[in-house]
Structure formats: structure tokens, C-alpha cells
Structure 1
């Protein structure tokens, strides 16, 4: 039986909570700073385990594309976010996944459920799902090397997803 590292779990929870707050408060630069230089941000479409190199994804960004997405959000010309959505996230079920920190060069694999409340002129939309992360320790603390967002309804038509999920 593996002993749960409570200190690591608390550190990871605080990181994920901070990421959620940056997203909700539209603190794009702070959110971008949470990524490693080789980060990958993926939101699959139609199936949770599709191949993003062969099938369409809602989002499949490498680090350069993440930076471009942030620049676009800063322009104020992202009309689907004019005015910006009002957002609030609830994060739950944070867990260290098998092998967290063991053999992956210190990589920490984490999963967490979420519910995002989005308020816009068209009304309220709820976005539910699970995120899986690969985190790495850097001189600046934990950073995201990988984030995969499994939306519950990724197999259905979606409203414009123009904010950071």
C-alpha cells in the first residue's frame, strides 16, 4: 500500500486552485506563467482518448500556441469574449495519480474534477469535466507541462469556448 504524501497533495491543490483563480479573474499573463516551455494544453472533441494529431480537438496547443491564444485575448478583438464572460470554477476530487513523482523525472500526475459557471448575455452555461495535469518542479515552483481537459459533453455541439477552460 502506497502512503499518501499529504504535503504534496496540499501543494498540488493550492497550485490548481491558483490556476482556477487566474482563469476566472482573466489574469492571462499569470495563467500563462504557470506553464513550462514545452507545455501542451489539450481539450479533446468527440472522445476522451482520441488522437489529437489525427482527429479534431476543441483545443490542442503547444507552448507557442498558448502564448498566441493569450495575445489574442489581450487584444480585446476576440468578439466572442466582448464583453468577457464572468466565470467561477469549482474544483473537487483532486488526487495524485499513479506514479506521481516516481519515474517521470519528478513529474507529478494529478487529476481534478471541475464545474465552470459561465455568465454571458445569452445566459448561463455550465461546463463540467475533469482535468489531468502533469506538473513539474522548477526554480519558480510547480509548473504545468501538460493539461488535458475532458469535457463531459465534448461529443455534442458546444457554445463558443473562447475562454480558458
Structure 2
């Protein structure tokens, strides 16, 4: 088995963003472990997704439901489909433990979501809690901290 390098961790984050930009949602979902969560806190420095309201706190089942909704023929809010673009700062390795196969990578981003003549831009940081599963990196937790997390938002259709 090959050791995971810093370059592997960085490349993983870039590849994941590209999957989302290309709407390869099924491929993207396979990056998550079965016990994974996608979390977008509602407050700065929020520490608990269960005792406090979040913008999103979805397990793998809910992610799958959202993907099925996005690809559904009767999802009129997605006709035409929303599109997105991630502009990422170079990811930084916050921690890496080869012995346990656990890694944390933080990335600042600007994210643009567009549909028809409406365009929305978000800025923030993503924190990937990655684990090694059978020699491959997988996401156990993806946390999205928006700069303006406490603002009033419309529907966020896609994944940041």
C-alpha cells in the first residue's frame, strides 16, 4: 500500500471540487464514507451540529436524496439546471496522521452558483476530514464555514 502524501491530499480536494463543477454527483458521493456528514454551520465557530441549528447537516442518505432531486425530471426548480464554479485557494494540511490514516485539509474558497439570470457568490472555508479506506482517501466529514453564515439565504441548490 502506498503512503498518502501531502500532494495526494491537495489533489483530492481539487478533484472533488472539479466533480461538483462538472455535476458528477454520483462520482462525488462515492468519495464519502458510509458514516460521513456534510455540514454547513449557521454560526461562526459552531462546535456542535446536533445541539445547534445548521444551514445543512446531511448524512450520506440525505446527500443521495439531494442528488436524486437534482437529477429528477420533475424537479422544476432545476429546469434549467443550476451550475457552479469553485475557485480554491491552495489547500493547507491542518493535520495528518499516517498511523491512523486520518487527515484534515482546510481550503479557502469563492463559490459561484448560477441559474438563468441569477448568480450568487459565497466565500468561506471548507474543512475536509479525510480517512484512508482500502488505500484510498474518503471524506468522513466535509464542513463548510461561510464568511456570512448568519445571513439570510435563499435556496442553496448545489454542493460547495
Q: Considering the TM-score relative to the shorter chain, is it more than 0.5? A: yes
Number of residue equivalences:
157
Query: In structure 2, how many angstroms separate the alpha carbons of the residues matched to 1:15 and 1:62?
Result: 20
- The answer as to 2:16 corresponding to 1:25 is no
Q: How much does 1:126 deviate?
A: 0.9
The C-alpha deviation readout for 1:23-46, integer Å capped at 9, x for no partner, is 111111011011011111100113
**CA distance in structure 1 between the partners assigned to 2:45 and 2:90 by the alignment:** 19
Q: Are 1:106 and 2:101 an aligned pair? A: yes
Q: Does 1:86 align with 2:83?
A: yes
Offset, 1:140: 5.9
1:108/1:50 CA distance change after superposition, 3 Å: closer
CA distance in structure 2 between the partners assigned to 1:62 and 1:160 by the alignment: 19
Does the CA contact (< 8 Å) of 2:106 and 2:127 recur in 1?
Answer: yes
Pick one of 124, 128, 132 that aligns with 1:133.
128
Aligned counterpart, 1:148: 143
RMSD, aligned α-carbons: 1.9
The answer on whether the counterparts of 2:91 and 2:106 sit within 8 Å (CA) in structure 1 is yes
For structure 2, list consecutive stretches of 5 or more residues without a partner in the other structure.
none
TM-score (normalizing by structure 1): 0.86
Q: Which runs of 4+ in 1 moved over 4 A?
A: none
What is the distance in 1 between the residues matched to 2:148 and 2:48? 18
Residues 48 and 82 of structure 1, relative CA distance in 2, 3 Å threshold: farther
Choose which of 40, 64, 69 in structure 1 pairs with 2:66. Answer: 69
Q: SS of 1:97's equivalent?
A: strand
Contact kept? 2:84, 2:158, Cα under 8 Å: no
The CA distance in 1 between the partners of 2:71 and 2:29, in whole Å, is 12
Deviations 1:72-96 (A, max 9, x none): 2221444433322221111113111
Cα distance in 1 for partners of 2:155, 2:62 equals 18
